[in-house]
Amino acid sequence: MRTEVAIIGAGPSGLLLAHLLARRGVESVVLETRSQAYVSGRIRAGILEQSTVDLLDEAGLGTRLRAEGYPHRGVYLQWPGERHHLDFVDLTGRSVWVYGQTEVQKDLTEVAGDRAVYEVSDTALHDIEGDQPYVTYTDAGGTGRRLDADVIVGCDGSFGPSRDAVPAAVRRTWEKSYPYSWLGILADVAPSTDELIYAWHPRGFALHSMRSPTVSRLYLQVPNGTDVAQWPDDRVWAELATRLGDGADGWTLTPGPVTEKSVLPMRSFVQAPMRHGRLFLAGDAAHIVPPTGAKGLNLAVADVGLLAPALVALLRDKDPALADRYGEDALRRVWRCTHFSWWMTTMLHTSEDPFEAQLQLAQLRSVVSSRAGATALAENYAGLPIGR
């Protein structure tokens, strides 16, 4: 089989890229190891920044988001005894939207048609340094296949083969692991807050997020290696109540039936270059951020927002300028978001060190008491326009 762009991975970056290319008349095929139902059902991100919403709108994918998503003006930052609202609209003119990755994925799946091929195995990249790269794989029926293309794009997340296809002598990686994980729950209960609460607490960080007026999403900082079996629902709700300040100033956390529970380890990872020969990397294939600050999905969308016009110029107009700059342009935003996610994570997650705790509280007070401090957080959280 032959196509113009072979895309590996049908997560948000792969499917969105295929859609943006199709709108400009560029053909692609997306290869995915998992089933369509599995990819669409994965509970992951929940917050879209303004530029992500703008890009989805421009791509004709904003209808359901506008009807069923929830715009939020900002977030609450709190520590014991104090809760402060940061109003991003007031501070920066930009806002964020609550709209789950599951919904983005459904919207993308609907427009993907038969461009996406699911349940493939043995995906391997070949000749990325030549003019005729290709991908080999085994299809769902067990038949070996070859997909020839002008370029290959690795959108295959943190465990796919694309990032390792860049020769070791060329690639550079930066990595940081954190000494804590998140225990996340999804619950069929109305959120106990109108906007997200990021809570610093001596017992560990907690986050109250949501998916809709009837579904809440909450997270607790837990030690690495935590087994979900150690956290029956009652224990999760009791710990959330303590860390989120149930009872303070009349605020209460309403528990409800838990429908999903999982532990998420946290790390930062960046690989450069994001382009080598005929291979381009986008999304989690090139970079991972810890979830605090909700940047992962937004960064994947921003990469694709740069890459789609670059590939259209390369393949339609034979103009390589944007494709040549893609890696450098994308990495500027990647490092900005890597810093922001690291900063949010280290400001809010507690350790055994009492000195560090005092520094965190000093940092939090400075963010909420200075317009400059609050604006810096708001600009990063609500996100810069793509291309800046």
Residue numbers at the binding site for ligand DHB (CB under 6 A): 45-47, 196, 209, 217, 291-294
**Least distance (Å) from ligand FAD to the CB of residue 314?**
21
* Helix (H), strand (E) at residue 305: helix 296-316
Among 5, 31, 263, 334, binds ligand FAD (CB under 6 A): 31
3-state SS class at 142: coil
Token pair in block for residue 84: 């402060």
264 binds, among ligand DHB, ligand FAD, none (CB under 5 to 8 A by kind): ligand FAD
Is 72 considered catalytic here? Answer: yes
CB-CB contact of 355 with 362 (8 Å): no
Q: Which is nearer to ligand FAD, 125 or 368 (CB)?
A: 125
The one segment of 155-163, 188-196, 245-253, 372-380 that binds ligand FAD by CB under 6 A: 155-163
Is 198 considered catalytic here? Answer: yes
91 binds, among ligand DHB, ligand FAD, none (CB under 5 to 8 A by kind): none
Among 204, 273, 283, 290, binds ligand FAD (CB under 6 A): 283
3-state SS class at 328: helix
Contacts of 79 (CB under 8 A, 6+ apart): 199, 200, 201, 361, 364
Site map 100..129 versus ligand FAD, x via CB under 6 A: -x------------------x--x------
Q: Which is nearer to ligand DHB, 83 or 217 (CB)?
A: 217
204 binds, among ligand FAD, ligand DHB, none (CB under 5 to 8 A by kind): none
Q: How many CA atoms lie within 13 A of 63 on its CB side?
A: 6
293 binds, among ligand FAD, ligand DHB, none (CB under 5 to 8 A by kind): ligand DHB
CB-CB contact of 228 with 260 (8 Å): no
**Least distance (Å) from ligand FAD to the CB of residue 312?**
20
Give the whole-angstrom CA distance, residue 77 versus residue 33: 39
Catalytic residue among 201, 287, 295, 349: 295
Give the whole-angstrom CA distance, residue 279 versus residue 293: 29
Contacts of 105 (CB under 8 A, 6+ apart): 11, 12, 15, 39, 40, 42
Is 265 considered catalytic here? Answer: no
Give the whole-angstrom CA distance, residue 148 versus residue 140: 19
Going by C-alpha positions, the residue among 146, 97, 116 that lies closest to residue 17 is 116
**Sheet (strand 47-49) strand order:** 47-49, 96-98, 70-72
Catalytic residue among 180, 291, 326, 349: 291
CB-CB contact of 79 with 200 (8 Å): yes
**Least distance (Å) from ligand FAD to the CB of residue 253?**
20
Q: Which is nearer to ligand DHB, 45 or 312 (CB)?
A: 45
Instruction: Please tell me whether residue 297 binds ligand FAD under the rule CB under 6 A.
Output: yes
Other C-beta atoms closer than 10 Å to the C-beta of 382 total 22
**Least distance (Å) from ligand DHB to the CB of residue 376?**
17
Is 326 considered catalytic here? Answer: no
159 binds, among ligand FAD, ligand DHB, none (CB under 5 to 8 A by kind): ligand FAD
- Residue numbers annotated as active site: 72, 198, 291, 295, 381
List interacting residues with ligand FAD (CB under 6 A). 8-14, 31-34, 39, 44-47, 101, 120, 123, 155-157, 159-161, 264, 283-284, 291, 294-298, 300
